[in-house]
Amino acid sequence: VVFVTVPSKAVGQKIAHSLVEGKLAACVNIIPGLESVYLWEGKVQSDAELLLKIKTRKALVGELTAAVKALHPYQECEVVAVDVTGGSDTYLQW
């Protein structure tokens, strides 16, 4: 599972469609209503964002990261991959 924050629904949809069409992700959930508070260039910032929850294979994370960075408008975008340690075997095989 890879998490990516985006500034708008349009950006999220663009990235999601590109990843699924390119077979870098099986599914992308676009989750609205996120507020991010972070330190950038020495100042605390706060922005409304959306979260992409991306289902992919570990072997594709590098290529997926490059694709997200190429499509993302941020100077430094969040791309964080976490291992899945269990779940529905049939879903995970899909």
Contacts of 11 (CB under 8 A, 6+ apart): 71, 72, 73
Q: What is the pLDDT of residue 48?
A: 97
Q: What is the pLDDT of residue 22?
A: 98
Contacts of 39 (CB under 8 A, 6+ apart): 45
The residue to which tokens 């708008």 are assigned:
8
pTM over 0.75: yes
Q: What is the pLDDT of residue 26?
A: 96
Q: The tokens of 54 are what?
A: 């991306």
Beta bridge partners of 50: 6
Cβ burial, residue 38 (10 Å; 0-12/13-18/19+): exposed
CATH (one of 3.30.2080.10, 3.60.20.40, 2.60.40.10, 3.30.70.120) for 2-84: 3.30.70.120
